[in-house]
Structure 1
Protein backbone atom coordinates (compact mmCIF):
# COMPACT_ATOMS: atom_id res chain seq x y z
CA UNK A 1 0.00 0.00 0.00
CA UNK A 2 2.86 2.36 0.92
CA UNK A 3 4.51 1.90 -2.50
CA UNK A 4 1.19 2.59 -4.27
CA UNK A 5 0.82 5.89 -2.37
CA UNK A 6 4.40 6.86 -3.24
CA UNK A 7 3.77 5.98 -6.91
CA UNK A 8 0.51 7.97 -6.88
CA UNK A 9 2.22 10.98 -5.25
CA UNK A 10 5.07 10.79 -7.80
CA UNK A 11 2.55 10.62 -10.68
CA UNK A 12 0.63 13.63 -9.31
CA UNK A 13 3.84 15.66 -8.86
CA UNK A 14 4.94 14.81 -12.39
CA UNK A 15 1.51 15.81 -13.77
CA UNK A 16 1.58 19.13 -11.89
CA UNK A 17 5.14 19.85 -13.10
CA UNK A 18 4.28 19.12 -16.75
CA UNK A 19 1.01 21.10 -16.58
CA UNK A 20 2.66 24.09 -14.87
CA UNK A 21 5.46 24.06 -17.43
CA UNK A 22 3.12 23.94 -20.45
CA UNK A 23 0.78 26.62 -19.03
CA UNK A 24 3.59 29.08 -18.40
CA UNK A 25 4.91 28.89 -21.95
CA UNK A 26 3.30 30.71 -24.81
CA UNK A 27 3.79 30.44 -28.51
CA UNK A 28 6.12 32.97 -30.01
CA UNK A 29 8.28 32.94 -33.06
CA UNK A 30 10.83 35.55 -34.01
CA UNK A 31 12.05 35.94 -37.54
CA UNK A 32 13.96 38.60 -39.40
CA UNK A 33 11.80 41.48 -40.60
CA UNK A 34 11.42 41.69 -44.32
CA UNK A 35 10.98 45.46 -44.47
CA UNK A 36 10.69 47.25 -47.72
CA UNK A 37 12.45 50.51 -48.30
CA UNK A 38 11.22 53.33 -46.08
CA UNK A 39 9.19 56.04 -47.84
CA UNK A 40 8.47 59.62 -46.92
CA UNK A 41 5.11 61.22 -47.71
CA UNK A 42 4.28 64.87 -47.22
CA UNK A 43 0.63 65.86 -47.03
CA UNK A 44 -1.08 69.18 -46.24
CA UNK A 45 -4.63 69.53 -44.97
CA UNK A 46 -6.70 71.74 -42.68
CA UNK A 47 -8.28 70.70 -39.39
CA UNK A 48 -11.48 72.49 -38.27
CA UNK A 49 -11.87 72.44 -34.46
CA UNK A 50 -15.26 73.93 -33.51
CA UNK A 51 -16.27 74.31 -29.86
CA UNK A 52 -19.25 76.64 -30.39
CA UNK A 53 -22.67 76.45 -32.04
CA UNK A 54 -25.32 73.76 -32.23
CA UNK A 55 -23.05 71.14 -33.83
CA UNK A 56 -19.56 71.43 -32.28
CA UNK A 57 -16.77 69.08 -33.37
CA UNK A 58 -15.03 69.35 -29.98
CA UNK A 59 -16.81 69.05 -26.65
CA UNK A 60 -15.54 69.40 -23.11
CA UNK A 61 -16.09 66.07 -21.36
CA UNK A 62 -14.37 66.92 -18.06
CA UNK A 63 -12.79 69.83 -16.22
CA UNK A 64 -11.18 70.56 -12.89
CA UNK A 65 -13.52 72.27 -10.42
CA UNK A 66 -10.87 74.87 -9.61
CA UNK A 67 -10.16 75.91 -13.20
CA UNK A 68 -13.28 75.07 -15.21
CA UNK A 69 -14.71 78.59 -15.10
CA UNK A 70 -17.76 79.24 -17.26
CA UNK A 71 -16.06 82.23 -18.93
CA UNK A 72 -13.08 80.15 -20.11
CA UNK A 73 -13.47 78.21 -23.36
CA UNK A 74 -10.54 75.94 -22.50
CA UNK A 75 -9.57 76.23 -18.81
CA UNK A 76 -6.56 74.39 -17.40
CA UNK A 77 -7.32 70.72 -16.88
CA UNK A 78 -10.25 70.65 -19.31
CA UNK A 79 -10.52 67.45 -21.36
CA UNK A 80 -12.10 67.53 -24.82
CA UNK A 81 -13.28 64.79 -27.18
CA UNK A 82 -12.91 65.70 -30.86
CA UNK A 83 -14.37 64.66 -34.19
CA UNK A 84 -12.90 67.40 -36.37
CA UNK A 85 -13.14 67.51 -40.15
CA UNK A 86 -10.02 67.47 -42.32
CA UNK A 87 -10.30 69.47 -45.53
CA UNK A 88 -8.23 70.36 -48.59
CA UNK A 89 -8.46 74.10 -47.89
CA UNK A 90 -9.21 76.37 -44.93
CA UNK A 91 -12.73 77.34 -46.02
CA UNK A 92 -15.75 75.71 -44.31
CA UNK A 93 -17.05 74.48 -47.66
CA UNK A 94 -13.68 73.09 -48.78
CA UNK A 95 -13.65 69.42 -49.84
CA UNK A 96 -13.61 67.13 -46.79
CA UNK A 97 -10.94 64.41 -46.99
CA UNK A 98 -11.20 62.86 -43.55
CA UNK A 99 -11.59 63.38 -39.82
CA UNK A 100 -9.47 63.82 -36.75
CA UNK A 101 -10.83 61.89 -33.79
CA UNK A 102 -9.36 61.74 -30.32
CA UNK A 103 -8.88 63.90 -27.25
CA UNK A 104 -6.92 66.82 -25.96
CA UNK A 105 -6.40 68.28 -22.51
CA UNK A 106 -5.53 71.86 -21.64
CA UNK A 107 -2.12 71.46 -20.06
CA UNK A 108 -1.08 74.99 -19.05
CA UNK A 109 -2.16 77.24 -16.22
CA UNK A 110 -0.88 80.39 -17.90
CA UNK A 111 -3.21 81.21 -20.82
CA UNK A 112 -0.48 83.36 -22.43
CA UNK A 113 1.45 80.07 -22.83
CA UNK A 114 -1.65 78.02 -23.69
CA UNK A 115 -0.67 74.42 -24.45
CA UNK A 116 -2.68 71.28 -25.06
CA UNK A 117 -1.58 67.66 -24.96
CA UNK A 118 -3.36 65.76 -27.68
CA UNK A 119 -3.98 62.30 -29.00
CA UNK A 120 -5.71 62.09 -32.36
CA UNK A 121 -6.14 59.61 -35.18
CA UNK A 122 -6.12 61.65 -38.40
CA UNK A 123 -8.02 59.42 -40.83
CA UNK A 124 -8.32 59.92 -44.57
CA UNK A 125 -11.69 58.86 -45.99
CA UNK A 126 -11.23 59.72 -49.64
CA UNK A 127 -8.59 59.94 -52.36
CA UNK A 128 -5.12 58.42 -52.52
CA UNK A 129 -4.89 57.75 -48.76
CA UNK A 130 -8.47 56.51 -48.27
CA UNK A 131 -8.57 54.01 -45.38
CA UNK A 132 -5.24 55.19 -43.96
CA UNK A 133 -4.47 57.35 -40.96
CA UNK A 134 -1.69 58.89 -38.96
CA UNK A 135 -1.74 58.95 -35.16
CA UNK A 136 -0.36 61.88 -33.21
CA UNK A 137 0.35 62.04 -29.48
CA UNK A 138 2.18 65.15 -28.45
CA UNK A 139 2.38 68.47 -26.67
CA UNK A 140 0.93 71.26 -28.81
CA UNK A 141 1.96 74.78 -27.71
CA UNK A 142 -1.07 76.58 -29.17
CA UNK A 143 -0.01 80.05 -27.92
CA UNK A 144 2.88 79.99 -30.37
CA UNK A 145 0.42 80.95 -33.11
CA UNK A 146 2.79 83.47 -34.71
CA UNK A 147 4.96 80.64 -35.96
CA UNK A 148 4.70 76.97 -36.66
CA UNK A 149 4.64 74.43 -33.91
CA UNK A 150 5.43 70.76 -34.16
CA UNK A 151 3.74 67.60 -32.91
CA UNK A 152 4.90 63.98 -33.15
CA UNK A 153 3.49 61.25 -35.37
CA UNK A 154 3.63 58.04 -33.34
CA UNK A 155 1.94 55.54 -35.65
CA UNK A 156 -0.49 54.93 -38.43
CA UNK A 157 -2.51 52.39 -40.35
CA UNK A 158 -3.23 51.47 -43.94
CA UNK A 159 -0.67 53.06 -46.27
CA UNK A 160 0.89 54.69 -43.20
CA UNK A 161 1.43 51.48 -41.22
CA UNK A 162 4.41 51.80 -38.83
CA UNK A 163 4.45 55.56 -39.40
CA UNK A 164 6.63 58.01 -37.57
CA UNK A 165 7.36 61.63 -38.27
CA UNK A 166 6.04 65.06 -37.41
CA UNK A 167 3.33 67.56 -38.21
CA UNK A 168 3.99 71.27 -38.43
CA UNK A 169 0.88 73.18 -37.40
CA UNK A 170 0.11 76.78 -38.23
CA UNK A 171 -3.02 78.51 -36.97
CA UNK A 172 -4.93 79.76 -39.99
CA UNK A 173 -7.72 81.34 -37.94
CA UNK A 174 -8.81 81.32 -34.29
CA UNK A 175 -11.61 82.93 -32.28
CA UNK A 176 -10.24 83.42 -28.76
CA UNK A 177 -13.75 83.86 -27.27
CA UNK A 178 -15.19 80.58 -28.56
CA UNK A 179 -11.99 78.57 -29.06
CA UNK A 180 -13.01 77.75 -32.67
CA UNK A 181 -9.94 77.28 -34.87
CA UNK A 182 -8.86 76.31 -38.36
CA UNK A 183 -5.37 74.85 -38.40
CA UNK A 184 -3.04 74.05 -41.29
CA UNK A 185 -1.33 70.65 -40.87
CA UNK A 186 1.82 69.92 -42.87
CA UNK A 187 2.64 66.27 -42.14
CA UNK A 188 5.93 64.56 -42.94
CA UNK A 189 5.31 60.84 -42.61
CA UNK A 190 8.00 58.16 -42.69
CA UNK A 191 6.51 54.73 -43.39
CA UNK A 192 7.01 51.42 -45.22
Structure 2
Protein backbone atom coordinates (compact mmCIF):
# COMPACT_ATOMS: atom_id res chain seq x y z
CA UNK A 1 0.00 0.00 0.00
CA UNK A 2 2.88 2.41 0.75
CA UNK A 3 4.25 1.90 -2.75
CA UNK A 4 1.21 3.61 -4.37
CA UNK A 5 1.23 6.56 -1.97
CA UNK A 6 4.57 8.05 -3.08
CA UNK A 7 3.84 8.29 -6.85
CA UNK A 8 0.49 10.00 -6.16
CA UNK A 9 2.19 12.61 -3.96
CA UNK A 10 4.90 13.22 -6.56
CA UNK A 11 2.28 13.57 -9.33
CA UNK A 12 0.23 15.98 -7.21
CA UNK A 13 3.31 18.02 -6.35
CA UNK A 14 4.31 18.14 -10.01
CA UNK A 15 0.83 19.39 -11.04
CA UNK A 16 0.92 22.08 -8.34
CA UNK A 17 4.32 23.26 -9.59
CA UNK A 18 3.12 23.36 -13.22
CA UNK A 19 0.02 25.40 -12.31
CA UNK A 20 2.04 27.78 -10.11
CA UNK A 21 4.59 28.30 -12.90
CA UNK A 22 1.82 29.02 -15.43
CA UNK A 23 0.20 31.58 -13.10
CA UNK A 24 3.57 33.24 -12.44
CA UNK A 25 4.37 33.49 -16.17
CA UNK A 26 0.91 34.89 -16.97
CA UNK A 27 1.28 37.58 -14.29
CA UNK A 28 4.82 38.41 -15.47
CA UNK A 29 3.54 38.83 -19.04
CA UNK A 30 0.89 41.31 -17.82
CA UNK A 31 3.66 43.60 -16.55
CA UNK A 32 4.73 44.14 -20.17
CA UNK A 33 1.30 45.46 -21.13
CA UNK A 34 0.94 49.11 -22.08
CA UNK A 35 -2.26 51.03 -21.45
CA UNK A 36 -3.41 53.59 -23.98
CA UNK A 37 -6.29 56.00 -23.40
CA UNK A 38 -7.71 57.80 -26.42
CA UNK A 39 -10.60 60.19 -26.92
CA UNK A 40 -11.64 60.45 -30.57
CA UNK A 41 -14.67 61.74 -32.46
CA UNK A 42 -16.67 59.83 -35.08
CA UNK A 43 -18.18 62.10 -37.73
CA UNK A 44 -21.37 60.17 -38.55
CA UNK A 45 -23.66 61.21 -41.41
CA UNK A 46 -26.70 58.99 -41.95
CA UNK A 47 -28.07 58.05 -45.36
CA UNK A 48 -31.34 59.79 -44.63
CA UNK A 49 -29.73 63.11 -45.45
CA UNK A 50 -27.19 63.33 -48.23
CA UNK A 51 -25.06 61.70 -50.88
CA UNK A 52 -22.02 62.05 -48.60
CA UNK A 53 -23.49 59.61 -46.04
CA UNK A 54 -21.08 57.59 -43.93
CA UNK A 55 -23.76 55.23 -42.53
CA UNK A 56 -26.31 53.52 -44.78
CA UNK A 57 -28.86 50.74 -44.31
CA UNK A 58 -28.11 47.78 -46.58
CA UNK A 59 -30.58 45.09 -45.46
CA UNK A 60 -33.66 44.61 -43.37
CA UNK A 61 -37.00 42.88 -43.09
CA UNK A 62 -39.01 43.00 -46.34
CA UNK A 63 -41.94 45.38 -46.08
CA UNK A 64 -40.58 47.13 -42.99
CA UNK A 65 -38.82 50.49 -42.82
CA UNK A 66 -35.04 50.15 -42.49
CA UNK A 67 -34.46 52.29 -39.43
CA UNK A 68 -32.20 52.29 -36.37
CA UNK A 69 -35.09 50.98 -34.27
CA UNK A 70 -36.37 48.26 -36.63
CA UNK A 71 -35.19 44.79 -35.59
CA UNK A 72 -33.05 43.16 -38.27
CA UNK A 73 -31.88 46.30 -40.03
CA UNK A 74 -28.21 46.15 -41.06
CA UNK A 75 -26.14 49.32 -41.50
CA UNK A 76 -22.61 49.67 -42.85
CA UNK A 77 -20.40 52.55 -41.83
CA UNK A 78 -17.22 54.30 -42.91
CA UNK A 79 -17.09 57.29 -40.54
CA UNK A 80 -14.07 59.52 -40.51
CA UNK A 81 -12.55 59.97 -37.06
CA UNK A 82 -11.13 63.30 -35.92
CA UNK A 83 -9.03 64.58 -33.01
CA UNK A 84 -11.78 66.88 -31.77
CA UNK A 85 -15.51 67.34 -32.24
CA UNK A 86 -14.88 69.84 -35.02
CA UNK A 87 -15.27 67.99 -38.35
CA UNK A 88 -12.43 70.14 -39.74
CA UNK A 89 -9.95 68.99 -37.09
CA UNK A 90 -7.21 66.57 -38.17
CA UNK A 91 -8.42 63.14 -39.25
CA UNK A 92 -6.86 60.26 -37.30
CA UNK A 93 -8.59 57.32 -38.95
CA UNK A 94 -11.76 55.62 -40.15
CA UNK A 95 -14.42 53.61 -38.33
CA UNK A 96 -15.37 50.86 -40.77
CA UNK A 97 -17.85 48.11 -40.04
CA UNK A 98 -21.50 47.45 -39.39
CA UNK A 99 -24.33 47.83 -36.93
CA UNK A 100 -27.29 45.47 -36.72
CA UNK A 101 -30.44 46.38 -34.82
CA UNK A 102 -30.41 43.20 -32.76
CA UNK A 103 -33.02 43.87 -30.06
CA UNK A 104 -36.60 42.90 -30.87
CA UNK A 105 -37.62 46.12 -29.14
CA UNK A 106 -35.16 48.15 -31.28
CA UNK A 107 -33.17 49.32 -28.26
CA UNK A 108 -29.95 47.36 -28.82
CA UNK A 109 -27.61 47.14 -31.77
CA UNK A 110 -24.75 44.75 -32.36
CA UNK A 111 -21.65 46.77 -33.21
CA UNK A 112 -18.72 45.36 -35.22
CA UNK A 113 -16.24 48.10 -36.12
CA UNK A 114 -12.60 48.29 -37.10
CA UNK A 115 -10.89 51.54 -36.22
CA UNK A 116 -8.26 51.97 -38.93
CA UNK A 117 -5.69 54.58 -37.90
CA UNK A 118 -4.23 56.87 -40.56
CA UNK A 119 -2.42 59.43 -38.38
CA UNK A 120 1.37 59.38 -38.01
CA UNK A 121 1.57 57.90 -34.51
CA UNK A 122 -0.65 54.84 -35.10
CA UNK A 123 -0.78 54.72 -38.92
CA UNK A 124 -1.65 51.24 -40.19
CA UNK A 125 -2.71 49.97 -36.77
CA UNK A 126 -6.26 48.86 -36.03
CA UNK A 127 -8.55 48.27 -33.07
CA UNK A 128 -11.43 45.81 -33.31
CA UNK A 129 -14.62 46.71 -31.44
CA UNK A 130 -17.51 44.33 -30.92
CA UNK A 131 -20.52 44.02 -28.66
CA UNK A 132 -24.09 45.01 -27.92
CA UNK A 133 -24.67 48.75 -27.69
CA UNK A 134 -27.71 50.06 -25.85
CA UNK A 135 -28.15 52.67 -28.53
CA UNK A 136 -30.47 55.06 -26.69
CA UNK A 137 -28.46 55.31 -23.48
CA UNK A 138 -26.31 58.39 -22.90
CA UNK A 139 -23.14 56.29 -22.58
CA UNK A 140 -22.78 53.01 -24.44
CA UNK A 141 -19.97 50.56 -23.61
CA UNK A 142 -18.55 47.99 -26.03
CA UNK A 143 -15.52 45.69 -25.88
CA UNK A 144 -12.20 46.06 -27.64
CA UNK A 145 -11.53 42.47 -28.70
CA UNK A 146 -8.28 42.79 -30.65
CA UNK A 147 -5.93 44.93 -32.65
CA UNK A 148 -3.02 45.03 -35.06
CA UNK A 149 0.20 47.01 -35.46
CA UNK A 150 0.89 49.07 -32.34
CA UNK A 151 -2.25 47.52 -30.77
CA UNK A 152 -1.37 43.82 -31.13
CA UNK A 153 -3.28 41.61 -28.69
CA UNK A 154 -5.40 44.60 -27.62
CA UNK A 155 -8.15 44.23 -25.09
CA UNK A 156 -10.20 46.83 -23.35
CA UNK A 157 -13.36 48.83 -23.68
CA UNK A 158 -14.85 51.78 -25.50
CA UNK A 159 -17.58 54.16 -24.46
CA UNK A 160 -19.63 56.05 -27.02
CA UNK A 161 -21.45 59.30 -26.22
CA UNK A 162 -23.44 61.40 -28.65
CA UNK A 163 -21.63 64.73 -28.46
CA UNK A 164 -23.91 66.55 -30.90
CA UNK A 165 -26.58 65.87 -33.50
CA UNK A 166 -27.61 68.28 -36.25
CA UNK A 167 -31.13 67.22 -37.27
CA UNK A 168 -31.36 68.87 -40.73
CA UNK A 169 -28.19 67.18 -42.01
CA UNK A 170 -28.33 64.02 -39.84
CA UNK A 171 -24.72 64.71 -38.84
CA UNK A 172 -23.90 63.21 -35.45
CA UNK A 173 -20.61 63.62 -33.64
CA UNK A 174 -19.95 60.59 -31.44
CA UNK A 175 -17.25 60.83 -28.76
CA UNK A 176 -15.33 57.57 -28.47
CA UNK A 177 -13.36 57.12 -25.25
CA UNK A 178 -11.05 54.09 -25.33
CA UNK A 179 -9.02 52.32 -22.69
CA UNK A 180 -6.88 49.64 -24.29
CA UNK A 181 -4.18 47.33 -22.96
CA UNK A 182 -1.74 45.97 -25.55
CA UNK A 183 1.88 44.90 -26.05
Do both share a fold (TM > 0.5)?
yes
Indicate the SS of the match to 1:156. Answer: strand
Residues matched between the structures, number? 155
Moved more, 129-138 or 175-184: 175-184
Q: Is the 8 A contact 1:156 1:163 kept in 2?
A: yes
Distance in 2 (CA, whole Å) between partners of 1:174 and 1:76 is 23
Q: Is the 8 A contact 2:44 2:172 kept in 1?
A: yes
Distance in 1 (CA, whole Å) between partners of 2:168 and 2:60 is 18
Distance in 1 (CA, whole Å) between partners of 2:172 and 2:71 is 18
**Residue equivalent to 2:78:** 83
CA deviations on 1:83-107 (whole Å, 9 max, x unpaired) are 1111011122121110011111012
Root-mean-square deviation over aligned CA pairs: 2.4
Distance in 1 (CA, whole Å) between partners of 2:109 and 2:45 is 15
Indicate the SS of the match to 2:110. Answer: strand
1:109–1:53 Cα change, 3 Å:
same
Return the TM-score normalized by structure 1: 0.72
Indicate the SS of the match to 1:109. Answer: coil
Q: Is the 8 A contact 1:60 1:81 kept in 2?
A: yes
User: 1:130 and 2:123 equivalent?
Assistant: yes
Larger Rg: 1
- The structure in which a higher percent of residues are strand is 2
Distance in 1 (CA, whole Å) between partners of 2:61 and 2:166 is 23
